[in-house]
Amino acid sequence: MRQYTQFYIDGQWVDPATPNTADVINPATEQVSGTISLGSAADVDKAVAAARRAFESWSQSKVADRLQLLEAIQAEYARRQQELGEAVTEEMGAPIALGTGFHVGLGAGHLQTAIEVLRDFRFEERRGNTLIVREPIGVCGLITPWNWPLNQTTVKVFPALAAGNTMVLKPPQLAPYSAQILAEILDAAGVPAGVFNMIQGQGSVIGAALSKHPDVDMISFTGSEPVGVQISKDAADTVKRVGLELGGKSAWIVLDDARLAENVAAATAGMMVNAGQTCSAGSRLLVPRARLQEAIAAARTAAEGVTVGDPRGDVAMGPVVSKGQYNTVQEYIAKGLDEGAELIAGGAGRPEGLDKGWYCRPTVFVTTNDTTIAREEIFGPVLVVIPYDDIDDAVRIANDSVFGLGGHISGEDRDAAIGVAKRLRTGAVWVNGGFDFHAPFGGYKRSGNGREWGEHGFAEYLETKSIIA
């Protein structure tokens, strides 16, 4: 049983202002796995005051000193990476190979990227008679989600730290363990008092207090669209910068070529990674209408081949994060059936042999783009296959969404795939599985604003000053 009942404020582990605890449930067993404290506005005030005091000196620190600190964090992170991965598996149900692999690897990658960007970043640039200076924005409130807890925490903490800011982190209540260990890593690495602070608790309390706080200069939030809208409203009165990475209903376009069946299978399996709880997942699989039956066969075989079970074992998919999320997925499956979508794999309920834990069946529907399951973000292992007539039709369907976070293209002709990618109204497009830690990531439309990852993510934490001589 994990007992995380203190917050990290001003370089110390401290008790909350008012004692208030909550249980954390292991989604694989439905049993209590630990306890955390729930913070209050008073804890936020204390943490923000510490961050404001620390900003005066940390914002003026030398690049060399920040690099030295980041490298010390890197050493501590490497030492505890197995522990971090195990925490991810326990808190949100990712299979242990995924937790200790890609989940932890994403955090390590964002740390290395922050180091690389900081080494080469030009904080001053002269243009004519003007000196353009980039300066840290100030005290940052960082609010992170449960689905990729290390990724979404480190992609905010490390660039903000490298850029010279101070911060208050609010980790997800459903998945708080990995953030607690990360705070221990930062403490052991020697982060100066007040530079990094962490308060566990409810988003409606801690997130709102940070968003409204007059001494917080920036909010960076990853999560659902309704919460992002509320944060924007809460932050408006103090005119602080708000960066939002919100929902998605990304299209995965499979081009008509000899590798269609292989690409459909890969897209289907890819959708089920992390139990479908990925904001940029290709949850709408667009295939040529003339080859729909071939695509259906490939998708069905791939979905039925996804092993589901105890995330501590050798499985491809564990449970979804909570009972609430499980119920949401079941409601969408029922809605798909009610609206006449064709179920070709999976369906309602748990997989056979699993009677405890929030396990869903890898599910695939064939439908049109106007159904609920094709338009709303399900955030579970539910894929919709949508046929298209030609490339223009595929682009039209892909862009017919209120979201615009991610997109995927699979095809033998790389140049043709890139040409299609340029036509999508979305913040990132992965062509044949490309990956780059320096690629800016963020949304069009209701998927948010601002960018994370690489130099663009680093720049989000800076103000621009002109000195005209």
Sequence-distant (6+) residues with CB within 8 A of 423 are 395, 399
pLDDT of residue 420: 98
pLDDT of residue 43: 98
Sequence-distant (6+) residues with CB within 8 A of 456 are 440
pLDDT of residue 42: 98
pLDDT of residue 413: 97
| Comma-separated ranges of CATH 3.40.309.10 domains in the chain | 251-442
Of 110, 170, 162, the C-alpha closest to 145 is 170
pLDDT of residue 126: 97
pLDDT in tens, 108-152: 999 999 999 999 999 999 999 999 999 999 999 999 999 999 999
Task: Report the mean per-residue pLDDT for the chain.
Answer: 98
- Here the contacts of 341-350 (C-beta below 8 Å, separation 24 or greater) are 341/365, 341/366, 341/367, 341/371, 341/373, 341/384, 342/366, 342/367, 344/296, 344/299, 344/300, 344/303, 344/385, 345/299, 345/300, 345/303, 345/304, 346/303, 346/381, 346/382
Of 251, 247, 306, 305, the C-alpha closest to 274 is 306
Which residue is associated with the tokens 């936020």?
44
Of 44, 72, 46, the C-alpha closest to 192 is 72
pLDDT of residue 459: 97
CATH superfamily of 251-442: Aldehyde Dehydrogenase; Chain A, domain 2 (3.40.309.10)
36, amino acid identity: I
pLDDT of residue 367: 98
pLDDT of residue 261: 98
Of 257, 277, 377, 378, the C-alpha closest to 320 is 277
130-136, strands of its sheet edge to edge: 124-127, 130-136, 462-468
pLDDT of residue 389: 98
Q: Is 424 exposed, middle or buried (0-12, 13-18, 19+ CB in 10 A)?
A: buried
pLDDT of residue 123: 98
pLDDT of residue 25: 98
Of 348, 378, 341, the C-alpha closest to 363 is 348
Mean pLDDT (whole number) for 448-459? 97
Q: Cβ(195)–Cβ(166) under 8 Å?
A: yes
Sheet strands (E) in 88-158: 124-127, 130-136, 139-143
pLDDT of residue 300: 98
Mean pLDDT (whole number) for 236-249? 98
Report how far apart, in Å, the C-alpha atoms of 26 and of each of 98, 123, 416, 452 are.
Answer: 17, 45, 45, 30
pLDDT of residue 284: 98
Which residue is associated with the tokens 């110390």?
12
| Comma-separated ranges of CATH 3.40.605.10 domains in the chain | 2-246+447-468
pLDDT in tens, 317-329: 999 999 999 999 9
Q: Is 62 helix (H, G, I), strand (E, B) or coil?
A: coil
Mean pLDDT (whole number) for 60-75? 98
Mean pLDDT (whole number) for 222-230? 97
| Residues assigned a catalytic role | 245
pLDDT of residue 41: 98
Sequence-distant (6+) residues with CB within 8 A of 65 are none
Mean pLDDT (whole number) for 27-38? 98
Mean pLDDT (whole number) for 158-177? 98
Of 176, 171, 255, the C-alpha closest to 221 is 171
pLDDT of residue 346: 98
pLDDT of residue 294: 98
pLDDT of residue 114: 98
- Express as a percent the part of the chain with pLDDT over 70: 100
Query: 2-246+447-468: what fold?
Result: Aldehyde Dehydrogenase; Chain A, domain 1 (3.40.605)
Q: Cβ(1)–Cβ(35) under 8 Å?
A: yes
